[in-house]
Amino acid sequence: MSPAATTRLPEIIKRREQDLLERWVKEQLSDVAMRRDVVSESQLREESREFLGLVAQAAGKSSLTSLDSAAWQPVRDMLSDLSRARAARGFSSSETATFVFSLKQPLFDVLRQEHDGQAATLTDELWTASSALDRLALYTTEVYQKGREEVILRQQEEMLELSTPVVKLWEGVLALPMIGTLDSARTQVVMESLLQRIVETGAEVAIIDITGVPTVDTLVAQHLLKTITAARLMGAECIISGIRPQIAATIVHLGVDLSAVITKATLADAFQVALSRLGLTVQRAPARP
Amino acid sequence: MATVRDETLEVRASADVVRLRQVVRSWAAELGFSLVDQTKLVTGASELGRNTLEHGHGGQVRLEMLNDDNRRGLRMTFEDQGPGIPDIHLALTDGYSTGAGLGLGLSGTRRLMSEFRIHSEVGKGTQVQVARWR
Amino acid sequence: MERIPILKMGDVLLVTIQVDMHDQLALALQDDLTEKISHTGARGVLIDISAVEVVDSFMGRMIANIAAMARILDAQTVLVGMQPAVAITLVELGLTLPGVRTALNVERGMALLLAEVGSPSRSLLGEADGDGQG
């Protein structure tokens, strides 16, 4: 493998830029999978011109093997924007990656011309070019992935808000009815928001009702315990209600110590405890004559 | 992993630990950490800074703001040329303390971080490196 | 060095911590409080940390110490206003505050102290009161 110092790639890309652009656009347009309905020819031309220009610039400053360096940041940024834009328009991740991959054929053709008769050098240059384009194409898929993950995360957060509202049962009493399977991350988020609501409403009692929770694992049980301890440090008391027999068995089996926690079978029982803690009782109104 | 910012602070007096808390809070907020995570970072920095001061007889902390395309984080490396810790395993167990107090030290701080590395040699000094990712 | 002010409200001493304390300031507070409890015969100490964003093990020790010393001098301590992020971090650190009662805010804290140490001859807040208490 020839050392990067003697590569002619940067010079070739710069000198043959226009030619490369023409070949590349032609290549992309001839691809049957090309999304002509979503990307117009002029837009494609513009995107390709921009990418090639940035690559030519970066290759002039830094080696094609150090794509992580600052010199290549403009290229990465452009690909990042492109990837996100295309994802938003409904492109699949491989359709977006094809944008970069499709540059290989035109680039190889040009390199073959430039290195006519020098098989050894040509092989090295082809390898360097191929690796670089592979890396850049993979980069677009990474960005694509991240974009999708961000969407999912946002949707998860929104669902979380909807599925675990903190309810004010009475002045000073909050209830948190939990529904569905709890995972560690979700439990953590929910618990943090409960503590926040305790401060906001000045509630001294919070009832965590897990009637709608089929199973609990160690992590979730630990989060619950940590939340209860944290609430206590803040000056509020938590009551857990609605523990099903299966969960009770799991808790014992996991060796989680709930001895310092008030537990009640139903939300109603827990509410009664909460009221008495606050020195309140419910009385029947005297019968009207 | 690209280091976006890199700063080394002296930890020679308790005012330095106060300043360290402020800097870590500021960097953590800039990185977009949640309020709880910010608090964990600042508290951890305070614990380790105090250790450096009291057990390490003073030292330095290197703060690194890390940001690559995948994730962002804050790394803190505390270093001193103090007496060192003879038994690290013991020091990392809950309830261990050389001074009067609630005996938390390193094990508690470890729980606040995503990463925790410690290296210590008796007579040479101690280095503790922690990091928290968003 | 500036010191944290201690307010006397009847039989209760109120301390509001609003600055990021360095160690000397914290130790001075401990001393000042102990001195003042003894001097005034106060029966209750209310520590308001609603403006405090970080509580590390040192500060935790300070609070526990204050509570312990107060108890020896026949006074109850209540800690109020802990922020959620601080509470979560303390739990993660494994830091418990033995002997320290807690309440959501100053009002509740006062009510708690009233319930605990209200004396028969006069109410905790120093007002003339015909009803017996405690």
In this predicted model, what pLDDT tens digit does every residue of B109-131 receive, in sequence order?
Answer: 999 999 999 999 999 999 999 99
Q: What is the pLDDT, as a whole number, of residue C33?
A: 95
User: Which stretch of A10-14, A67-71, A181-185, A228-232 has the lowest confidence by average pLDDT?
Assistant: A181-185
Is A199 within a domain? yes
Inside any domain, residue A30: yes
Look at residue B107 and tell me whether its pLDDT is greater than 50. Answer: yes
Has residue A287 been placed in a domain?
A: no
| A74 and A11 fall within a common domain | yes
Residue A284 belongs to some domain of the structure: no
- Within this chain, do residues A146 and A16 fall inside the same structural domain, yes or no? yes
Between CA C115 and CA C108 the distance in angstroms is 11
Smallest Cα–Cα separation from B112: which of C55, A24, C67, C129? C55
- Does residue A285 lie within any of the structural domains? no
CB of A236 within 8 Å of a chain C CB? The answer is yes
- Flag the least confident range among A47-51, A178-182, A251-255, B102-106: B102-106
Q: What pLDDT does A33 receive? A: 66
Average pLDDT, chain C: 86
In chain C, the percentage of residues whose pLDDT exceeds 70 is 87
Residues 6+ apart with CB under 8 A from C65: C30
Confirm if B132 and B38 have CB atoms less than 8 A apart: no
* A91/A188 same-domain check: no
Query: Distance (Å, rounded) from C-alpha A220 to C-alpha A183?
Result: 7
Provide the pLDDT confidence category of residue B24 given band limits of 50, 70 and 90.
Answer: very high
| ipTM for this model | 0.88
- Cβ–Cβ of B42/C53 closer than 8 Å? yes
| Nearest Cα to Cα of residue A9 among A88, A67, A62 | A62
Kindly state whether residue A231 falls inside one of the protein's structural domains.
yes
Same domain assignment for residues A84 and A223: no
C54 falls within a domain: yes
Domain co-membership, A173 together with A151: no
**Tokens 């000094």 found at:** B125
- As for how many domains chain A has, the answer is 2
Question: C85 lies in a domain?
Answer: yes
Domain boundary among A126, A156, A186: A156
Please check whether residue A192 touches B, CB under 8 A.
yes
Segments making up each domain of chain B, as ranges: 3-133
Range of the domain at C36: 6-117
pLDDT band at A222 (very low <50, low <70, confident <90, very high): confident
Cβ-based contacts of A193 with chain C (< 8 Å): none
Residue A233 has a pLDDT of 95
Task: Flag if C22 and B102 touch (Cβ within 8 Å).
Answer: no
pLDDT for C125:
53
For all residues of chain A together, what is the average pLDDT?
86
Same-domain check for residues A89 and A177: no
Average pLDDT over residues A176-181: 82
Q: C11 lies in a domain?
A: yes
> Binning pLDDT at 50, 70 and 90, where does residue A40 land?
confident
Among the ranges given (A200-209, B90-99, C61-70, C96-105), the one the predictor scored with the smallest mean pLDDT: B90-99
- Residue B73 predicted with pLDDT over 80: yes
Q: pLDDT exceeding 70 applies to what percent of chain A?
A: 94
Instruction: Please report the pLDDT score of residue B104 as a whole number.
Output: 42
> Among the three residues A131, A156, A181, which one is the final residue of a domain in this structure?
A156
The residue whose two tokens read 């808000």 is: A161
DSSP 8-state class, residue A229 = H
Q: What is the CATH number of the domain that holds A234?
A: 3.30.750.24
Residues from chain A that touch B36, judged by Cβ atoms under 8 A, are 192
DSSP SS3 for C80: strand
Specify the number of domains making up chain C.
1
Mean pLDDT along residues A216-237:
90
The answer to whether the beta carbons of residues B17 and B46 sit under 8 Å apart is yes
CATH of the domain at C53: 3.30.750.24
Q: How far away is chain B from the Cα of A196, in angstroms, using its nearest Cα?
A: 11
Which residues 17-76 in chain B show a CB within 8 A of chain A?
A: 36, 69-70
- A120 and A48 share one domain: yes
Cross-chain Cβ contact B70/A142 below 8 Å? yes
Residue B30: predicted pLDDT: 92
Q: Ranked by mean pLDDT, which of A90-94, A176-180, A226-230 comes out on top?
A: A226-230
Q: What is the pTM of this model?
A: 0.70
Confidence of residue A288 (pLDDT cuts 50, 70, 90): confident
In-domain check, residue C57: yes
Contact C61 B108 (CB under 8 A): no
Beta bridge pairs of residue A168: A174
Torsion of CA B15, B19, B22, B25, to 10 degrees: -110
- Clarify whether residues A127 and A171 are in a common domain: no
What is the average per-residue pLDDT within B69-90?
A: 88
Closest CA to A50 of A77, A28, A68: A77
pLDDT at B101 over 50: no
- Give the pLDDT of chain C (134 residues) as one tens digit per residue: 788 999 999 899 999 999 888 888 999 999 999 999 999 999 999 999 999 999 998 999 899 999 999 999 999 999 999 999 999 999 999 888 888 999 999 999 999 998 877 643 344 454 444 444 43
Taking the Cβ of residue A187 and every Cβ of chain C, the question of whether any pair is shorter than 8 Å is answered with no
Q: In a 3-state reduction of DSSP, which class is residue B5?
A: strand
CB-closest option in B2, B36, B70 to A192? B36
Can you give the pLDDT at residue C16? 96
Instruction: Answer yes or no: are the C-beta atoms of B105 and B88 closer than 8 Å.
Output: no
Q: How far apart are CA A159 and CA B114, in angstroms?
A: 27
| Per-residue confidence band for B53, with pLDDT thresholds at 50, 70 and 90 | very high
Distance (Å, rounded) from C-alpha A217 to C-alpha A61?
Answer: 54
* Same structural domain, A62 and A118: yes
Closest CA to C97 of B104, B113, A237: B104
pLDDT at B74: 96
**Domain span including residue A151:** 4-156
Q: Note every long-range contact of A273-280, with CB atoms under 8 Å and residues 24 or more positions apart, other chains counting.
A: A273/A239, A274/A169, A274/A170, A274/A173, A274/A205, A274/A207, A274/A239, A275/A170, A275/A173, A277/A204, A277/A205, A277/A237, A278/A170, A278/A172, A278/A173, A278/A204, A278/A205, A280/A170
Mean pLDDT value of segment A34-58: 85
- If you classify domain B3-133 with CATH, what class do you get? alpha beta
- By residue count, chain A amounts to 289
**Which residues on chain C are in Cβ contact (under 8 Å) with A261?**
none
